[in-house]
Amino acid sequence: MIKTLKLYFDFCNPVDRKKLKSALILNTVKAIFATLRIPAIAIILMGFLENNMSMTNVYGAFAVMLLSVIGQVAIGLKTTMLQTEAGYHSCAAKRIEIAEHLRYLPMGYFNKNSLGRITNITTNSMETMADVATRVVMITSQGIITTCVVALFLLFFDLRIALILGVGILLFSLFNRLMQTATIPVAPRRAKADEGLVSAVIEYVQGIAEVKNYNLTDNTAKRLEGAISEKQAADTKLEFAVVPFMVLQGITTKLTGVVMCIASIYFYLTGSMSLLYTIMMTISSFMIYESLDMMGGFSALMRTVNVTISQAKEVLDLKPMDIDGVDQKPASFDIEVNNVSFAYDDKMIIDGISLKIPEKTTTAIVGPSGGGKTTLTNLISRFWDVKSGEVLLGGRNVKEYSFDSLMKNFSFVFQRVYLFEDTIANNIRFGTPDAPMEKVIEAAKKARCHDFIMNLPNGYETIIGEGGASLSGGEKQRISIARAMMKDSPIIILDEATANVDPENEAELTRAIEELTKDKTIIMIAHRLKTVRHADQILVISGGKVSQKGTHTELIAQDGIYKNFVSERKEAVSWKLA
């Protein structure tokens, strides 16, 4: 239990850790105020037992009791505020820290880890830390502090009762330890079930159109139901694991108080304890029951705190890319790739590629699926770090640039565009949030999306659905191009930007791309002949290597992948329905 408390305190940021420590100190003072009830009652009892009861005794007892109540209420309010602020602020800070950390992780992490896992950590786990962990930690801490204060009080008045309490605390701690141990094999299953449920819900919602289209509602619903059932089973198993020990803790708590009462009465009857002390020990036994019961009720959740923090630390402990380069502008926008290799785990994707891309030229990358085209562009823009070799921008290794200063040089238009659930204007100015509306409209006109935007209910202030669900594929692509225009980077990477666009939108999208790429260094991944044939150089990537390199005229004269690629496209264009 103490180990988990320390883990939580160490996990919180310094400002909130200071607030939690202040709350602990105040809880100690609160426990002292709580024990003032005992001397308040003792003052009254002394008056009766010594047969000299007077209003002085009454006023004295009332004053001490009033001090106890006011002290507990005032300090309780303050500690609650400190705990609440620390819990929610720390949760918010950790969410931001995790988001910033994810920003600098290699893209390979996102390929290996499902959206459900990342979502679960940043939402459920952090919410648990804010709502549950802080409350559990502080209530448990308060119980420990109150028990220690009362134990010191008893130690001062009667060593025998203090020893009985000590035995009770040891048994309570033993059962608590056994309970924590019992949850170790179960808690990870519960965390995995949380992750699986989030993944299943996200997949079900995002793929609902395909599910209905192929009439797979029952099959997909079964998977979702399976995830829900697994979550239910994991929660139930965790409860069954802790219930026996919670019962033992409860019995120990009650028996400790009962034994303290019986022992006090026995000592009184045998003449080794005064009646005053007997009554005080009896009152103390109820206070001990209250504090131990408080700890026992929440200690079962301590393992959840441990798992929650471990999940967050697992992400934060992942080694990010080296981003400690210098904020600098490249001397030119020439790109060089020198003997670069890259692998996902043990699978080689890029194998010793070398090439040069002069600034303000267009380089087209073609080749079979899985050959390494997208991976190569990701290495050039440093979404991943190379395994060996180097990538140069303006004669400098991309690792010598700070990540932010490097990214300023690149704009991307992907095949799959993601738009945020926000206004169209804010989606366009995403990379330049302070840009005025005039610039937004100018970029939209160049990207050929101004007209359809103005036909929307609220124009540029129209809220679009998450992922751009309320727009067509071509409309999303043009907004993505407008966003890239706003950023105005000197290097543009187009990853099959026109692959899935319908013919009606293709002409508009092509003109938008022409506006975007004026006087820029262009790297495009494409499968359409008319898109690549006018490139300054064409790279054919196959099996992680550059199998061919040259212009369209040069490559079409050679036997190889490119010539086959052109022939297949010509056959596809000439194909007609009979």
| 160/246 same-domain check | yes
- Looking at per-residue pLDDT, the higher value among 12 and 167 belongs to 167
Residue 455 domain flag:
no
- Give the pLDDT mean for 404-421: 80
Residue 479 domain flag:
no
pLDDT > 80? residue 268? yes
- Give the pLDDT mean for 171-188: 79
Residue 356 domain flag:
yes
The CATH code of the domain that includes 334 is 3.40.50.300
- Give the pLDDT mean for 120-138: 73
- Looking at per-residue pLDDT, the higher value among 528 and 319 belongs to 319
Q: Closest Cα partner for 494 from 481, 475, 479, 504?
A: 481
| 54/176 same-domain check | yes
What's the order of all strands across the beta sheet hosting 537-542? Answer: 410-414, 491-495, 521-525, 362-366, 537-542, 545-550
**Beta bridge pairs of residue 393:** 335, 396
- Give the pLDDT mean for 461-475: 73
The proportion of the chain whose per-residue pLDDT surpasses 70, expressed as a percent, equals 84
Q: Closest Cα partner for 138 from 32, 311, 4, 37?
A: 4
Domain boundary among 316, 334, 368: 316
Residue 117 domain flag:
yes
The CATH code of the domain that includes 62 is 1.20.1560.10
| 212/353 same-domain check | no
- Give the pLDDT mean for 502-515: 66
58-108 pLDDT, tens digit per residue, is 788 788 888 888 888 888 888 888 877 877 887 888 888 888 888 777 766
Domain boundary among 258, 287, 316: 316
| 207/312 same-domain check | yes
| 64 HSE (CA, 13 A, CB side) | 17
pLDDT of residue 576: 45
The proportion of the chain whose per-residue pLDDT surpasses 90, expressed as a percent, equals 1
| 309/340 same-domain check | no
Domain boundary among 316, 337, 360: 316
Give the domain range for residue 70: 2-316
pLDDT > 50? residue 243? yes
| 136/24 same-domain check | yes
Residue 200 domain flag:
yes
| 230/354 same-domain check | no
**Beta bridge pairs of residue 463:** 423
pLDDT > 50? residue 578? no
- Give the pLDDT mean for 326-347: 85
Residue 449 domain flag:
no
| 308/334 same-domain check | no
| 286/405 same-domain check | no
pLDDT of residue 197: 76
Look at the chain and report how many structural domains it folds into. 2
| 276/395 same-domain check | no
515-543 pLDDT, tens digit per residue, is 777 788 888 887 666 677 778 888 888 88
H-run or E-run covering 577: none
| 215/356 same-domain check | no
495-504 pLDDT, tens digit per residue, is 776 655 555 5
Rounded to whole angstroms, how far apart are CA atoms 293 and 250? Answer: 7
Residue 521 domain flag:
no
H-run or E-run covering 410: strand 410-414
pLDDT > 50? residue 486? yes
pLDDT of residue 292: 73
**Beta bridge pairs of residue 491:** 410, 521
Please give the full DSSP string across 34-83, using - where no structure is assigned: HHTHHHHHHHHHHHHHTT---HHHHHHHHHHHHHHHHHHHHHHHHHHHHH
Identify the residue whose tokens are 């303000």: 360
pLDDT band at 209, cuts 50/70/90? low
Average pLDDT over the chain reads 78
CA angle 557, 558, 560 (to 5 degrees): 135
Identify the residue whose tokens are 């099996």: 543
418-453 in b/e form (b: 16+ CB < 10 A) is ebeeebbbbbbbbbeeebeeebbbbbbbbbbbbebb
pLDDT of residue 240: 81
Residue 422 domain flag:
no
Outline where 300-369 has alpha helix (H).
Answer: 302-316
| 110/183 same-domain check | yes
pLDDT band at 168, cuts 50/70/90? confident
Residue 525 CA to chain centroid, in angstroms? 32
